[in-house]
Amino acid sequence: MANVLIAGCGYVGTALGVRLAGAGHTVWGLRRSAEGLPPGICLFVSDLSPPETLQTLPPALAAVFYTAAPNGVDDAAYRAIYVDGLRYVLEALVRQHQSPQRVLLTSSTAVYAQSGGEWVDETSPTEPQHFTGRRVLEGERMLLDGPFPATVLRLGGIYGPGRTSLIERVRQGLAACREGPPLYTNRIHRDDCAGALHHLMTLPQPDSHYIGVDH
């Protein structure tokens, strides 16, 4: 069994951690506090913003998951998480002579600019028009050009426990579909995110990019 670090152990990361711990792995959840951390995940108190809090990571990490989410919806918040925070973690791994077999990043389908209802896959162009997609893509490229084997999972909109706004709008009769050709929304359940990440960890040679959405 492996030592695993989940950096930014929040909504998706905790579900992943519970799954990995149940499979027998030693799981460390990097987060600011123990509040809401499920049993089975070892707490590693840190903040991704100031790199000095990453001076001593758990030892002998076989896999690192970066599942952090921004605290705001502006460019600075996205840069702080998807670029700066990710870079700080990678630098800490190098500085501490760690050799994870793989670093996995939860990215976003925001890296795609397509919005006309066309099908998108891993080979589709990534030309985001909004800062959210641009910052996420910047982080992807930094990771894939970095010192460790890496895989990016581009997730659609995440739903699950506590995230029921869409279904509540439907129940209340407030949701509507506009006339015309059908348009599709890309979504994935939190537990499916965790399952996909766990699966990618088990693959000997996964690809560099995957899209994670429900059928």
What is the CATH classification number for the domain harbouring 78?
3.40.50.720
Query: What was the pLDDT predicted at 166?
Result: 80
Query: What was the pLDDT predicted at 167?
Result: 82
Q: For residue 3, which of 98, 107, 143 has the smallest C-alpha distance?
A: 98
Tell me the residue type at 47.
Answer: D
Total structural domains in the chain?
Answer: 1
- Per the CB < 8 A criterion, the answer to whether 185 and 120 are in contact is no
CA-to-CA distance for 106 and 192, rounded, in angstroms?
13
Query: What was the pLDDT predicted at 42?
Result: 98
Query: What was the pLDDT predicted at 28?
Result: 98
- Tell me the whole-structure pTM to 2 decimals: 0.94
Q: Which residues contact 187 (CB under 8 A, 6 or more apart)?
A: 156, 157, 158, 159, 213, 214
CB atoms within 10 A of CB 199: 12
Mode of pairing for the β-strands spanning 41-45 and 61-66: unpaired
18 Ramachandran zone, left/alpha/beta (phi>0; psi -120 to 50) = alpha
Structure tokens at 15: 């579900």
Look up tokens 């950096």; give the residue.
7
DSSP SS3 for 170: helix
Let me know if 58 is exposed, middle or buried by CB neighbors in 10 A (0-12, 13-18, 19+): middle
pLDDT string in tens for the chain (215-residue length): 899 999 999 999 999 999 999 999 999 999 999 999 999 999 999 989 888 889 899 999 999 999 999 999 999 999 999 999 999 999 999 999 999 999 999 999 999 998 777 889 999 999 999 999 999 999 999 999 999 999 999 999 999 999 888 888 889 998 887 787 777 788 999 999 999 999 999 999 999 999 999 97
Burial 21-53 (b: 16+ CB within 10 A, else e): beeebbbbbbbeeeeebeeebeebebebeebeb
Query: What was the pLDDT predicted at 184?
Result: 76
Q: Domain range spanning residue 118?
A: 3-212
